Amino acid sequence: MTSVNDKYAVSVENLEKRFGDFIAVNNISFTVGKGEIFGFLGPNGAGKSTTIRMLCGLLVPDGGSGYVAGLDIRTQSETIKSNIGYMSQKFSLYEDLTVEENIDFYGGIYKIDPVRKEERKQWAISMAGLSDHRKNLTVNLSGGWKQRLALGCAILHEPPVIFLDEPTSGVDPISRRMFWNLIYELADKGVTIFVTTHYMDEAEYCDRIALIYRGELIALGTPHELKTKRMPGNLLEISVSKPNEALAFIDNFVGVQEASLFGNNIHAITENAVLPEQIKQSLYAEGFVDAKVEKILPSLEDIFVTLIEEKDRAVKQAGEMKS
């Protein structure tokens, strides 16, 4: 009989981790489907790395449960390590070894059968585009080549689940795009990708996204769901020749929840009852006769900033009530 933990590649329920009095991960729950590209986002110190370390069998939870590839993160941590791939932003490569030597080293770590290891080595070299550089020292490779080589080493043993921690940090945009093409190919073959990134455009590539902040899961859904359902009001884009001066006026406009500069424009979150034409006419009356106001679909960055600020306000209000 198939259990719920076998149904998903990753299953987490009420997971907690404390370090002394500090709660690093606070009662989070989510599931990741097999073959899904799952984005796990949050600012530094939010709890991303602690969660990943628990899922990879490197940290024991203080509460809750978790399963990866059907394996219990509490009791089967060693088995989990041989059933996952892991790649960090530092690439985990030995730079004083050649391309081939790095692959051979990881093949030995994963105890791959010698015949199969040779097949996988040829695959990794081809996938990374390093057929002409197999004898080169890794230290001499570009960031994009190191990135693809590190991915090849991480999945040499063909794990069903891969954890990628900021995998495109520090590489050029073309290499980033090529890397994501590889990710899609793996997902199409049924491999589950659990990825953290601070690039908002990359978050758009994920099937679903979870946002963790202050150790808590504060949003979960597809990019489209987050952009259409999680904004508490309307997002207006205001184009005006003197945005700094206009911002002070808009910030005090009745029904505007918050406003900030966004490039050369202003983004304002308003109550649903506030119409773009109302703000436009008010700006005209204040002398901003070139103002243009339109309702736009929020970006993931808009959503994340809004949700984080909303969480900070709630924490502050709770603190004030206690004091």
In this structure, the answer to whether residues 207 and 259 fall within a common structural domain is: no
Last residue within a domain, chosen from 202, 224, 246: 224
**What's residue 273's pLDDT?**
81
DSSP 150-190: HHHHHTTT--SEEEEESTTTTS-HHHHHHHHHHHHHHHHTT
In this structure, the answer to whether residues 113 and 125 fall within a common structural domain is: yes
CB 168 within 8 A of CB 92: no
How many domains are contained in the chain?
2
Q: Helix (H, G, I), strand (E, B), or coil: what is residue 278?
A: helix
The residue-averaged pLDDT of 116-139 equals 92
Beta strands in 149-302 (DSSP E): 161-165, 192-196, 208-213, 216-221, 234-239, 256-262, 265-270, 292-295
Per-residue pLDDT band for 323 (boundaries 50, 70, 90) equals low
Pairing mode, strands 208-213 and 216-221: antiparallel
The residue-averaged pLDDT of 126-137 equals 91
In this structure, the answer to whether residues 245 and 218 fall within a common structural domain is: no
In this structure, the answer to whether residues 191 and 242 fall within a common structural domain is: no
Q: What is the pLDDT of residues 158-193, one digit of tens each?
A: 999 999 988 888 788 888 888 899 999 999 999 999
Q: What is the pLDDT of residues 232-281, one digit of tens each?
A: 788 999 999 999 999 989 988 999 988 888 889 999 989 888 889 999 99
Token pair 């969660």 is found at 51
CA dihedral 170, 172, 177, 179 (to 10 degrees): -50
In this structure, the answer to whether residues 185 and 51 fall within a common structural domain is: yes
Per-residue pLDDT band for 303 (boundaries 50, 70, 90) equals confident
Q: Helix (H, G, I), strand (E, B), or coil: what is residue 291?
A: coil
CB 93 within 8 A of CB 153: yes
Q: Helix (H, G, I), strand (E, B), or coil: what is residue 280?
A: helix
Structure tokens at 210: 């979870």
The percentage of residues in the chain with a pLDDT greater than 70, rounded to a whole number, is 98
In this structure, the answer to whether residues 185 and 273 fall within a common structural domain is: no
Q: Domain with 218 in it: what CATH number?
A: 3.40.50.300
Please, what is the Cα angle at 14 between 4 and 163, to 5 degrees? Answer: 70
Pairing mode, strands 265-270 and 292-295: unpaired
Q: What is the pLDDT of residues 193-217, one digit of tens each?
A: 999 987 888 889 999 999 999 999 9
**What's residue 199's pLDDT?**
81
In this structure, the answer to whether residues 114 and 131 fall within a common structural domain is: yes
The residue-averaged pLDDT of 64-75 equals 96
Structural domain boundaries, residue 214: 4-224
In this structure, the answer to whether residues 160 and 253 fall within a common structural domain is: no
Q: What is the pLDDT of residues 16-39, one digit of tens each?
A: 999 999 999 999 999 999 999 999
CA distances from 76 to 1, 5, 159 (A): 20, 13, 16
Phi, psi of 212 (to 5 degrees): -110, 135
In this structure, the answer to whether residues 178 and 301 fall within a common structural domain is: no
Last residue within a domain, chosen from 198, 224, 250: 224
In this structure, the answer to whether residues 290 and 199 fall within a common structural domain is: no
In this structure, the answer to whether residues 191 and 258 fall within a common structural domain is: no
In this structure, the answer to whether residues 253 and 289 fall within a common structural domain is: yes
CB 38 within 8 A of CB 55: no
